[in-house]
Chain A
């Protein structure tokens, strides 16, 4: 019989135990990029896309995941930017068995390679449907603390935050910095969150100056940035045809460790169908043209192509 010391964090609902306890960001694909989820005690920065069309969806998933697990959620904003009745609805995951590849024969040397088409899904039993809205009863039951930084000072908000940290539950903090809140707020938020059951999701608007963003970058534990494609980019570039934008993992979280989870790559593409927000590894599309590709080199004066 072996004895293993269990931390308090591992017994909390919606928390995955490990070297560093993590909780889901609300997207299983994002969790797998981050090495299992968002580490407890971390400040995670998300650089919004130009019009905040897609970053807000990830923020909604983060809040909805917290409500699904009964976590306390604290929202710090300017009062009107986030409508909680628009949060996605939790639906049970349909487990799919891996399909057999009878119809296609793959060369043995490629068969051993991992599939890069989609990211592995984590063990979560639910997904979020962005077409359907959260049940009003579920929203009414949720433990949500809202702070308005137009009315309350940052010291007051931080005092409320410090008194809202539960010992037997997780506190999810959602905040926007760069316009109304500055780097001092972010630094204090990081100090308050460290080594306790708090996970922070901090978004930075696209209009935030580069200098300010660099300071936020230095303070944050993890940084994700979203870049949405314009319709012209999607039409002209075949690589972007299926996707709505790029998601970059600019800083990997290193909580209680000098080395974090190192994913195989840090550049991903996302697309949002009506229901789901999917994140995939960015890769070159296969060449489906009928003529075999040739590499030719033509000398400047002659007419004959020199193939090699």
Chain B
């Protein structure tokens, strides 16, 4: 499953900034859950910051895929900061939502920020960028940042984030329209100065157990 993507991740230096963006009807959550699952399987330490979806979403997705989500949480390998829960409490009190001050564990192997769009909804592009730079300065390992980039403001943020990251993944729908068998296109780009820059484009199909990457023009999964 998704071995081509793991090869792409392995081409990085281990302390890269990976930017994962999605457009249109496609969501990048399958990429994030794959990375989370991979890290949990390898018993790496992960800090997951949930802004777009709640921790319950990732818990259910990992459980369906047979990943040790609860065990990792109990062991302390997985730390979750669920911003959605604190925003819900703020909204219920009739308060305006605020951008959180997230305490990052710098010793974690992987830090995942699931979606920056909710932050952009409640603050400005500059404010979001300032927070991202703060987080980047604290993280010594791999930082994964997700963004749903559909409108001009989020596209502008996406350009800034691409300029500060060494690897990025772009997920978008098929230009030819809807297909039940192929759910969209995934583009993997690496501009790591140590290795050669590379770019790969593939089709993908998402199932509950994970995603299948397909060669464009065929239905053969890449193994």
Classify chain B: how many residues form its interface, as a range: 35 or more
Interface string of B141-156 (1 = CB under 8 A from A): 0000000111111100
Q: Pick from A53-61, A68-76, A113-121, A261-269 the stretch touching chain B.
A: A261-269
Q: What residues of A have a CB within 8 angstroms of the CB of B64 in the complex?
A: 257
Asked whether A162 and B92 contact (CB < 8 A) given A214-B150, A259-B207, the answer is: yes
Assess whether A126 is interfacial by the CB under 8 Å rule. Answer: no
Q: Which residue of B lies closest to A252 (CB)?
A: B25
A267 to B25, CA, bound (A): 14
Interface string of B197-223 (1 = CB under 8 A from A): 000000000111001000000000000
A256 to B53, CA, bound (A): 9
Whether A219 pairs with B121 at a CB distance below 8 angstroms is yes
Classify chain A: how many residues form its interface, as a range: 35 or more
Whether B92 pairs with A159 at a CB distance below 8 angstroms is yes
Assess whether A192 is interfacial by the CB under 8 Å rule. Answer: yes
Asked whether A218 and B117 contact (CB < 8 A) given A257-B61, A258-B206, the answer is: yes
Q: Pick from A97-105, A182-190, A270-278, A283-291 the stretch touching chain B.
A: A182-190
A256 to B150, CA, bound (A): 22
A145 smallest CB distance to B (angstroms): 16
| B residues at A contact (CB < 8 Å) | 25, 27, 29-30, 33, 54, 56-57, 60-61, 64, 84, 87-88, 91-97, 117-118, 121-122, 148-154, 178, 180, 183, 206-208, 211
Q: What residues of A have a CB within 8 angstroms of the CB of B92 in the complex?
A: 159, 162-163, 192
Q: Which residue of B lies closest to A214 (CB)?
A: B151
A217 to B64, CA, bound (A): 27
A262 to B184, CA, bound (A): 13
Q: What residues of B have a CB within 8 angstroms of the CB of A241 in the complex?
A: none
A232 smallest CB distance to B (angstroms): 26
Q: Which residue of A lies closest to B154 (CB)?
A: A218
Query: Would you mind naming 15 contact pairs between A and B with Cβ atoms under 8 Å apart?
Result: A158-B94, A183-B121, A187-B118, A191-B84, A192-B88, A194-B54, A195-B54, A212-B151, A214-B150, A215-B151, A217-B150, A223-B25, A256-B57, A258-B206, A263-B180
